[in-house]
Amino acid sequence: MKRSGKTVRKGDLPEKDCRTCGRPFTWRKKWERVWEEVLYCSDRCRRERPKEQP
Ligand SMILES: [Zn+2]
């Protein structure tokens, strides 16, 4: 299977979609212990959470 433009490598780092901005972000070393809990791509997005229901 081929995707135009980008090559998808095997063994690539996992990705998630940021809860705030919706962009995919890639696993980072600093998250290796908390990856399951990481929901945001950056500290900024973590602070700027989507509007919570009042
Ligand atoms: Zn984000």
The residue assigned the tokens 């809860």 is 19
Output the CA 54–ligand 1 centroid distance in Å.
22
Contact 40, 20 (CB under 8 A): yes
Give the model's pLDDT for residue 2: 61
Give the model's pLDDT for residue 28: 93
Of all helices (H) and strands (E), which one includes residue 46?
Answer: helix 43-47
Output the CA 2–ligand 1 centroid distance in Å.
28
Give the model's pLDDT for residue 30: 93
Give the model's pLDDT for residue 6: 64
**Alpha-carbon distances of 38 from 1, 4, 44, 49, rounded to whole Å:** 30, 30, 13, 13
Question: What's the pTM value of the predicted model, to 2 decimals?
Answer: 0.64
What are the tokens at 28? 């980072």
Contact 13, 26 (CB under 8 A): yes
pLDDT tens digits, one per residue of 11-52: 789 999 999 999 999 999 999 999 999 999 999 999 986 566
